[in-house]
Amino acid sequence: MVDNCRLDEIIDKTVETVGESREQIFEIGEKSRLEYHTLERELQEVRLKVAKVIEKTDRTQLHARFARNRLAEVSKDFERYTSEEVRSAYEQANDYQVQLAVLQQEEQQLRERRDHIERRLLNLKDTMERSEQLASQMSVVYNFLSSDLKQVNEVLAEAKEKQAFGLQIIEAQEEERKRLSREIHDGPAQMMANVMLRSELIERIYNEKGIEEALNEIRDVRKMVKNSLAEVRRIIYDLRPMALDDLGLIPTLDKYLKTFEEHSQVAVDFRHFGREKRLDQKFEIALFRLVQESVQNAYKHAQPKEIQVKIEIKPTKVIMIIKDDGKGFDTSSKKEGSFGLIGMKERVHMLKGQITIQSKVNVGTVVLIDIPFSSIG
C-alpha cells in the first residue's frame, strides 16, 4: 500500500513537471512568434526600399551612361566646346558616378539587412516549429500520464503521417537534384570534357602545323571555357533569383530578359497582359524558371535572331508563350527528349499544367504553357 501511494506521488509530480515544462515551451514559442511577425513587417519595408533603390539605380545608370557619352563627345572634339561646357560635362558625369556609387552601397546595405532578417526569420520559424513540436510531444506525455493511455492510437497515427511527409520531402529533394544533375551533365560537364580533349591536341597541332594553328586551337578552347563558365554562372543564378522576392514576377522577368538580350545579342520582345500582381512565391519562382529555361534553350540550340515572350495573368490561370525564329527541330525526333525540354515538362507536370511545343525546321519554335492557380496552394 505504501508503494502504491509512493508511485501515485511520483506520477503526480511527473505530471506537474511535464505541465510546467509544456507552459514554458509554449511561452518561448509565443515570444518567437511575436518577434517573427515584427520582423516580417520590417522585411516588407526593407523589400520596398530595395525595390525603390533598384529602380532609382537603374535610372541613375541611364543618366550616368548619357553623361559619360557626353563627356566622351566633348573630350573627342575638345576645341569645339568652351571650357565651361567641358567642365560642366565632366562634373555632371562625375556627379552621376558618385550618386551611382552611393545608391549601390545603399542597395548592398539594404540587401544585407534583408538577408539578415530572412535568416533571423528562418531561425525563428525553426524555433517556433520546434517549440510547437516539443509542446505537442509534452502534451502527448501529459495526456498519456493523466488519461491512462487514451491517446496512444492518435499519437501513432500522427507519427506515421509525419514519417510519410518526411518521405515526400526527401523524394522532392531527390527529384530536384536529378534535374540539376541533368542540367550540369547536358551543359558544363560536356563542355569541359571537350576542353580536355581539345587541349590534348594543342601540342600535336603545334608540332605538326606550327604556332599559328596551335594559337587558333587555343582561342577555340578559350571560347569553350568562357561558354562553360557562363553556363555554370547561369546554373548558379537559376538556383535562386534574388530580385524575385523584392520585385515580383513581371519586373524580374523584364529585368532578366533585358540582361539576357544584352549578353546574348538576341533581340527579345517581352509583353505581359492582365493584372500585374504578386503571386504565391513558389508559383512565381516556377513561372520565372520556365521562361528562363525556354529562352536559354532557344539561345543554346536554335541560334535565333529574335525571341518573343508573352505572359497573361488571368483570374484563374497563367498563360505563357515563348516563340523564337531559330532553326527549329523535328518534334518527332529524339531531340525533343533533350534534358532541357524534359525538365520543363516535369516542372509543368508538377504544377498540374499543360505544355505544348510546336517546331518546324528552319522556321522556329513555339512553347505554350498553361498553368492554373489552383495547382499551388
What is the predicted pLDDT for the residue at 307? Answer: 95
Joined grid coordinates for residue 336 = 525533343
Beta strands in 285-337 (DSSP E): 306-313, 317-324
The yes or no reply on domain 2-150 and CATH 3.40.50.150 is: no
Which band of pLDDT confidence, cut at 50, 70 and 90, is reported for residue 338?
Answer: low
* Domain positions in the chain: 2-150, 152-239, 244-377
> In the predicted model, what is the mean pLDDT of residues 362-376?
83
Q: How confident is the model at residue 168 (pLDDT cuts 50, 70, 90)?
A: low
Grid cell at residue 254: 523584364
CA-closest candidate to residue 309, choices 372, 360, 266:
266
User: What are the two backbone dihedrals, phi and then psi, of residue 338, each rounded to the nearest 5 degrees?
Assistant: -65, 160
pLDDT tens-digit profile of 175-194? 666 666 676 666 666 777 77
Q: What is the spatial distance between Cα 18 and Cα 28, in angstroms, rounded to a whole number? A: 15
- Distance, in Å, from the CA atom of 283 to the CA atom of 297, rounded to the nearest integer, reads 21
The answer on pLDDT for 106 being more than 70 is: yes
Which CATH number is associated with domain 244-377? 3.30.565.10
Instruction: Work out the pLDDT band at 145, boundaries 50, 70, 90.
Output: low
- pLDDT grade for 336, boundaries at 50, 70 and 90: very low
Amino acid 238: pLDDT: 58
pLDDT higher than 80, residue 228: no
Question: Does 125 score more than 70 pLDDT?
Answer: yes
> What's the whole-number mean pLDDT along residues 295-315?
91
pLDDT grade, residue 335 (50/70/90)?
A: low
The region of weakest confidence among 147-151, 256-260, 302-306, 336-340 is 147-151
9 pLDDT higher than 80:
no
Q: Mean pLDDT lowest for which of 85-99, 201-215, 307-321, 351-365? A: 201-215
* pTM recorded for the entire structure: 0.40
Q: Is the dihedral of CA 293, 178, 354, 165 positive or negative?
A: negative
Burial class (CB in 10 A: 0-12, 13-18, 19+), 110: buried
The per-residue pLDDT for 149 is 39
8 A C-beta contact, residue 250 and residue 272: yes
Residue 13, CB half-sphere, CA atoms under 13 Å: how many? Answer: 6
Q: Do domains 2-150 and 244-377 have the same CATH topology?
A: no
The predicted pLDDT at position 169 comes to: 45
Q: What pLDDT is attached to residue 233?
A: 64
The mean pLDDT of 257-278, rounded to a whole number, is: 87
Average predicted confidence (pLDDT) for the chain? 77
Across 256-270, average pLDDT: 90
Give yes or no for residue 252 having a pLDDT over 70.
yes
Nearest to 190 by CA among 49, 340, 71: 340
What pairs with residue 168 in β-bridges? none
C-alpha cell at 24: 514554458
